[in-house]
Structure 1
């Protein structure tokens, strides 16, 4: 008996829908795409779970082995360094915040520790316009550390309560604490304001 014929139209229709969806995604401005995504996610809680899962997979797949240079310093003979914030700073910070949002709290803490390490020995005039801008940027990192600790703590929650940290998570916790303490000592030695006070307090007090 000959095999029954299959109507190819449904497959063609599906391909057409996918192509048009891609056209929407690539054509909408960023703020429009965000609005549409928020509306979709609000429509059904299961969409949020899948969205976070796919975001997490993408972030893990596209992770870099090393952090880019976030600050550049130029000095002259008579003044403190002139610090320029690299365009990579904003991209890196956004990536870290996305990681917090999809459950990669410990991984984001590790990257924030690297940001603190790059910033801890910056020598700049705190009263200059450039210095005030840099202090605002560092204060935002301080706030990110607080949020990352919250995200990391949530990652430990399981149905029966809170699980034990893995060896990698313990290493990250100890590493960010050590980095923040070193940054505090560096700031005190140079008579500068320590910009990560809230982050240090939370890391010290948080019972992971």
Structure 2
């Protein structure tokens, strides 16, 4: 199982960003067909937590939070105490402890981006963290023009249709996608998911 804990950065300066995050996550979950075992909700203060079983959804959600910005994200991959409680904050198990360790590390300056992974299999978790940090760095540097095309591609599926919707050439769409490193990013999602799955079970 995968527990994701996210802690808002600089909440005293920015105000409470949890409602905005929950709205964004709700829209994302609809697109994914509600992948949560237990939905993301506020734990205490400016922290949220949710539980997922699908590592591909974990990758997607982690990158969504990095796109939103202002969040330290910790992913715990491991067993949970079953049956789970009615909410993530009320539940327990190794994955929750690992998520706590990960988000604490994500808050620090030792990580290149505010995202960390801790798992029952530490080596796989370390590799998953390195790859997710690389993907997060790509996401965090993507321009508004890049996101416009990336988001449209997710809806329409083809560069030709995206070009028609935007009123630009297919070549211009291709150039934006190349600059956004969209192909490279999406091709690495399955590898990140496999590493998370491996991290879930102790060797």
* TM-score, structure 2 normalization: 0.24
- Structure with larger RCO (C-alpha < 8 A, sep 6+): 2
- The structure carrying a bigger helix percent of its residues is 1
- The structure carrying a bigger strand percent of its residues is 2
Larger radius of gyration: 1
* TM-score, structure 1 normalization: 0.24
